[in-house]
Amino acid sequence: MTEPAASPLAHHQAARDRFEAERERQDRVAARFSMAQLGLFGLSVVLGGSGLFGGLKPPLLGAGGAVFLVFLIVRAFQARVILRREQAEVRREIHDRQVKRMTGQLAALPPPGAALPPGHPYAGDLDVSGDASLLARIDTTHTTLGARSLASWLAAPAPLEVVAARQDAVRELAAATELRQELEAAVLETGRERLDARPFVEMMDKKGILEERPWLAFVAPLLPLVTIGVWAAGTFGPLSGWAWLLPLAVQILVVRATEPRSREVYEAMGEKKGFVDAYARLFRVVEGASFDSPGLVQLRDGLSIDGAPPSVQLARLERWTSWYDLREQGIVHVFVNPLLLWDLNCLVGIERWIRKVGRKCGAWFDVVGDMEALAALSLLLHQDPHATMPEVVEGGALEADAIGHPLLLLPTRVTNDVRLEGPGHALIVTGSNMAGKSTLLRAVGINVVLALAGGPVIARRMRVPRLRVRASMRIADSLQSGASYFQAELTRLRLVVHRAEAAPPILFLLDELLRGTNAKARHIGARAVVSHLLDRGAMGFVATHDVALSELEQERAGKVRNVHFTDVIEDGTMTFDYHLRPGVVRTSNALRLLAEVGIDVVDDPNLFDGVLPAPEAARPAAD
């Protein structure tokens, strides 16, 4: 499958508009069919009525019947038109969602199907999950298992061999735009937004009636034959004409004994009819796809039990459940069921399917879930011109050329080059308010998370060693639990430093450490936290307004580097270019911002001449 010549955004906009026009066209055709049906039905009634009343007139009756036949044909054509209209609407919706993803309208999308837990070491800090998050941007899954797979992959680094296999699959699926669209359409065309396979799998695991009373498998087909044979012998042979009532009475007892289980399975399968149809569509999409990457081939080949693909196996189940629908035929079912043990025979067929196939079919749903998760990971590679596949290695430096944040729109996204030499190294990021410190840390963190999940990154080139990402950037106190801001931050830092010496190394992302305490304690505590992590082989970034923290560059020469962002004053107007520069920031916009709101501030021009003096040097000398 090849990419369209137009940009991805233009492609999705054009496809959305094309399917919108197709939907409107089918609406007009359906409306004309409706008018034609109304006319044909009225004409058939008039002709048929004229042929019946006032003397039987076969020609008029025949004409009325012919017109009614045309009415049925038109009705069948209208059903096909309505189906095409619904298919066009689903595809219009799919492309419209892609346009919203690419233009930042994440709030207008359905919520992601899964989320990382609130206490996760980085999900909330890096906007991996939640509103306007990475998951909101890329989650195109429509099964619960697919959403959970995607979230779990973003929650922890995968082994290198798994990352490599996912990368190959992501590259292939990024180009398979039609396949990704059909994976979504397979569910949306059934009128559902999300499928949960868990209740179906749990139903498959329940103990069946045949396991408790296996003799029913022989009774179900044989006893009706015995009853019919005795009836025939009584009617045409030597037996009494009422002898057949005896085996019939036995059948009635069997029906009464098995009715609770029959009703339970019937109701359960009835609830799953739409579910089975939706999954059958998904299975057909995957079964019919042609793949090159070994991971995708292995997934597709896993969709087989006893040599038959899921669509075939589910068709066999559907045959039994459709025969079960005789229960809805009222009086017919009342007579047929005890005579032929109809429900029991259907139940035997379904439970045999469950024992042979159903208890192994959980893997089917896992395969489709993984396929959906891979398709979601491939979305950025297809849609974002800055996206590339990173190099993921066992250890060494973290390097990125032109790294950017995947949630920032392309016209406003600014990229930077970063390099972190490896374990025991850190970058101290100082800078003006709103200059881009936090955004840089989040851009690095979220791209590392994507890389270690096997997905693409927003960078011209990126080399990512296996790391455990830990972040403390977004702290909130809790009035309900009585936790202060400082206590909440300590709780967060405990997650960051926990097992810092273990492998793989920690990548820490710390923004304004210990804001909940005074300046002196904050400075001492921040140095202690960073030193603790570096001494244990962690590596990372620290964004701070505390320029005194930049002393670590001299104290840990070659291990810590200072970089900064700053504001730019042009014609008296403060602007930001969001470009990362070496060294410590030399300006602050905080005092200017205070002055703009009407507060008189005396600015100290020597404030950034070196680092802040040590507390002892600031004290007056003793007499």
* pLDDT of res. 1: 42
For 477-572, strand residue ranges (E) read 506-511, 539-543, 560-565, 567-570
User: Picking from 135-149, 170-184, 255-269, which range would have the lowest pLDDT averaged per residue?
Assistant: 255-269
* Residue where the block lists tokens 């019946």: 52
Buried b (16+ CB within 10 A) or exposed e, 322-348: eebebbeeeeeeeeebbbbbbbbbbbb
Q: Is the pLDDT reported for residue 605 higher than 50? A: yes
Closest alpha carbon to 207 in 273, 269, 261: 261
Q: Cα–Cα distance between 549 and 561 in angstroms, integer?
A: 11
Closest alpha carbon to 437 in 509, 360, 333: 509
* pLDDT bucket at 14, cuts 50 / 70 / 90: very high
pLDDT, tens digit, 9 for 90 and up, residues 515-573: 767 778 788 888 889 999 999 999 999 998 878 888 898 988 889 999 988 877 666 67
* pLDDT bucket at 603, cuts 50 / 70 / 90: low
| Mean pLDDT, rounded, for 495-506 | 90
Mean pLDDT of the chain: 84
Q: Is the pLDDT reported for residue 134 higher than 90? A: yes
Q: Cα–Cα distance between 473 and 476 in angstroms, integer?
A: 10
Q: Is the pLDDT reported for residue 622 higher than 70? A: no
pLDDT, tens digit, 9 for 90 and up, residues 226-254: 888 888 877 777 777 678 788 889 888 98
Check residue 114 and give left, alpha or beta (phi > 0: left; psi -120 to 50: alpha).
beta
Q: Cα–Cα distance between 192 and 180 in angstroms, integer?
A: 17
* pLDDT of res. 476: 60
Q: Is the pLDDT reported for residue 490 higher than 60? A: yes
Give me the CATH code for the 384-618 domain, please: 3.40.50.300
* pLDDT of res. 613: 41
* pLDDT bucket at 489, cuts 50 / 70 / 90: confident
| Mean pLDDT, rounded, for 577-583 | 87
pLDDT, tens digit, 9 for 90 and up, residues 435-480: 889 999 999 999 999 999 999 999 999 999 999 999 988 776 444 4
Q: Cα–Cα distance between 200 and 205 in angstroms, integer?
A: 9
* Residue where the block lists tokens 């270019």: 577
pLDDT, tens digit, 9 for 90 and up, residues 109-131: 999 988 888 889 999 899 999 88
Q: Is the pLDDT reported for residue 621 higher than 60? A: no
* pLDDT of res. 163: 96
Maximum mean pLDDT: which of 104-108, 229-233, 306-310 = 104-108
pLDDT, tens digit, 9 for 90 and up, residues 344-355: 888 888 888 888
User: Picking from 45-54, 81-90, 282-291, 364-373, which range would have the lowest pLDDT averaged per residue?
Assistant: 45-54
Q: Cα–Cα distance between 77 and 366 in angstroms, integer?
A: 38
Q: Is the pLDDT reported for residue 303 higher than 60? A: yes
* pLDDT of res. 601: 63
Task: Output the pTM of the full model.
Answer: 0.84
User: Picking from 76-80, 165-169, 441-445, which range would have the lowest pLDDT averaged per residue?
Assistant: 76-80
